[in-house]
Amino acid sequence: MKDYNKSIIINKPASAVYAAITGHIQHWWSNDLTGTAAHTGDSFTISFGETRKTFNIEKATPDKQVIWKCVKAHIDMPSLKNKAEWTGTRLIWTLSAVGQRTTLSFLHEGLNPDFECYDMCKVAWNEFLASLKAYLTTGKGKPFLKPAEGPSAVYN
């Protein structure tokens, strides 16, 4: 089975793309984030309402590649039998730059059509990668926003 992957071209230098992936996750993925993702060995937890995932940074090579390993996951979908199915998957961000233009190749290693959440996760990744590109090109992404009160999700 083929793992989820997507490449996007961003008219920004690799240093800007790398900074967004390692230091500005809350601006394009979710603002409900604790921890850090800037260096190899860092760890962070990101939440989307009751859905939570914790990642260890396995590799952080400035302007080249970042690898996050999911070490804990709870996907809050009543239909899922395995709510922790992201655990053990790796998110691999590879940057290739020519001047002020960067190709970002994203591979979610392990996330494939055998996963119960694959269809939903594929749609979400497409949206959040578009959010990352928007953040880099306009300064404003569309991350999940933690609600001020109540259980309902808010999207920017």
Q: What is the pLDDT of residues 42-92, one digit of tens each?
A: 999 999 999 999 999 999 999 999 999 999 999 999 999 999 999 999 999
pLDDT in tens, 124-156: 999 999 999 999 999 999 999 998 755 555 544
Radius of gyration of the chain (CA): 15
Residue 149's pLDDT is what?
56
- Find all residues with CB under 8 Å of 122, minimum gap 6, and list them: 4, 111
Q: Is the pLDDT of residue 122 over 60?
A: yes
Task: Count the Cβ atoms, other than its own, within 10 Å of residue 2.
Answer: 7
Extents of the domains making up the chain? 4-143
pLDDT recorded at residue 30? 98
Phi, psi of 57 (to 5 degrees): -85, 110
Q: Is the pLDDT of residue 34 over 60?
A: yes
pLDDT on residue 156? 47
Compute the mean pLDDT over every residue in the chain, rounded to the nearest whole number: 95
Ramachandran assignment for 135, one of left (phi > 0), alpha (psi -120 to 50 degrees), beta (any other): alpha
Q: Considering the domain 4-143 in this protein, what is its CATH number?
A: 3.30.530.20
